[in-house]
Amino acid sequence: MTHLFHRQLRQTLPEAASAKGLYITDTAGKTYLDACGGAAVSCLGHNHPDVIAAMAAQMARLDYAHTSFFTTRVAEELADTLIAQAPEGISHVYLLSSGSEAMEAALKMARQYFVELGQPRRTNFIARRQSYHGNTLGALAVGGNAWRRAQFAPLLIDVTHVAPCYEYRDRLPTETPEQYGQRLVRELEAELLRLGPDTVIGICAEPVVGATLGAAPPVPGYFQGIRALCDRYGVLLIADEVMCGMGRTGTLHALEQEGIVPDIMAVAKGLGGGYQAIGAVLAHGRVYDAFDSGSGQFMHGHTYIGHPVACAAALEVQRVLQREKLVEASRVQGLALRRKLDAALGGHAHVGDIRGRGLFLALELVADRASKQPFDPKLRLNGRIRDEALARGLMVYAMGGTIDGRHGDHVLLAPPFTVQERDLDTLVERLAESVEAALAGLPA
Ligand code: PLP
């Protein structure tokens, strides 16, 4: 009998014993190719000796120092490194310990920003349907998954939701991608006007939607349109780059590819690459300045923020990314993986779409390619693919149409940026077999 309160009480999981590079090994000696970095976390692969050495050295020097008493060299260096790489205008880093904490802090920072400016009437956020921004109550409130939210209502903050950018399903045949993007921006503006722009704090969006839509990228001009709206109405753009950020899409920040700078950005996952639990909020200078010339205090904090060992891990992860040119590798290997997926599965009767950017790619499975009709979520095709893949020694992140019942099952791939050509071949081969086996196992 286990005393560990597992997420899924009735599931028996293999026991992970060790990991190296792209592979995790269980206690039975079976190896698993980590094709999803856990949940798009492991950007360097497992057990990188430089990161382990940096963490051990930091641990030996200074294990912990509470941030209300001390700053630390390692936290300052991490912030300097992140700002040196950040888009123009982003000036400060607030450290957290996870993606949900980063989003939670981002929302509170945005709220307090307007308090500092003397605009406390701004209390509304606008986010997008089917989105996921974390599991704490504030982050869950901005999240737009009906099924995740349902049990926890009433949620803590005022949020309304507009359509996400989901080209595969929602672009009309008569529209160009740009026209589709502009239509979405007009809908967003209508929502802003309905709420009253001077009641709105910010617009929250994940630039490339990961867990809930399956690596769904924005159409050209969409985020530029949102940026322009935010500027026109004095509303903040809050980018959730927890999953798609830190090199995952082939540039360090996903929004770089849209040519715009957010006011507040949340990062996590790839920041620490799985070596430690760490997240961060990156704030634009104008946000920081409001605090600096206002109360001089952000009303937020947690016991473990800026943990020296977590900072040492993240700092070394960033240094390895630069030394080994791994963000570029994410772009290049992403294109290679895309080609291999197209060749192996692009013509498959049940693969509706293959999409994404960098090493952040997904398949969307459908019952019928022409009508894009999803499989019945009760069939749990996503779970079947995940199980078939695990049996074949392959980890994929598979989610289903249960998210508002509006899309097909999808399989998200987010391997470490250190992935090599031969690993990509193994990945695609095992994935194709797993998809076939899962489909063959569906009830007739
Ligand atoms: N935001 C996005 C876009 C995510 O994908 C996730 C996690 O998957 C989170 C926030 C929450 O991060 P965490 O699980 O580290 O709390």
Domains and CATH numbers, the chain: 16-47+325-440 (3.90.1150.10), 51-323 (3.40.640.10)
Paired strand residues for 257: none
Q: Is 397 in the pocket of ligand 1 (CB under 6 A)?
A: no
For ligand 1, atom 7, the nearest C-alpha belongs to: 134
Burial class (CB in 10 A: 0-12, 13-18, 19+), 429: middle
Please give the distance, rounded to the nearest whole angstrom, from the Cα atom of residue 200 to the centre of ligand 1: 24
Contact 32, 394 (CB under 8 A): yes
Structure-token pair, residue 184? 């979405």
CA 198 – CA 328 distance, rounded (Å): 41
**Tens-digit pLDDT string for the chain (444 aa):** 789 999 889 888 999 999 999 999 999 999 999 999 999 999 999 999 999 999 999 999 999 999 999 999 999 999 999 999 999 999 999 999 999 999 999 999 999 999 999 999 999 999 999 999 999 999 999 999 888 888 898 888 999 999 999 999 999 999 999 999 999 999 999 999 999 999 999 999 999 999 999 999 999 999 999 999 999 999 999 999 999 999 999 999 999 999 999 999 999 999 999 999 999 999 999 999 999 999 999 999 999 999 999 999 999 999 999 999 999 999 999 999 999 999 999 999 999 999 999 999 999 999 999 999 999 988 999 999 999 999 999 999 987 655 566 788 999 999 999 999 999 999 999 999 999 999 999 998
Structure-token pair, residue 315? 């700092």
Q: Is 86 in the pocket of ligand 1 (CB under 6 A)?
A: no
The residue among 255, 265, 311, 256 whose CA lies nearest residue 288 is 265
Q: Is 42 in the pocket of ligand 1 (CB under 6 A)?
A: no
Contact 114, 201 (CB under 8 A): yes
Please give the distance, rounded to the nearest whole angstrom, from the Cα atom of residue 135 to the centre of ligand 1: 8
Q: Is 206 in the pocket of ligand 1 (CB under 6 A)?
A: yes
Which amino acid, residue 403?
I
Q: Is 133 in the pocket of ligand 1 (CB under 6 A)?
A: yes
Please give the distance, rounded to the nearest whole angstrom, from the Cα atom of residue 100 to the centre of ligand 1: 6
CA 98 – CA 268 distance, rounded (Å): 6
What are the helix (H) ranges across 298-393? 308-323, 326-345, 381-391
Number of helices (H) and strands (E), helices first, in the chain? 14, 15
Helical (H) or strand (E) element with 342: helix 326-345
pLDDT of residue 407: 81
Structure-token pair, residue 93? 């880093």
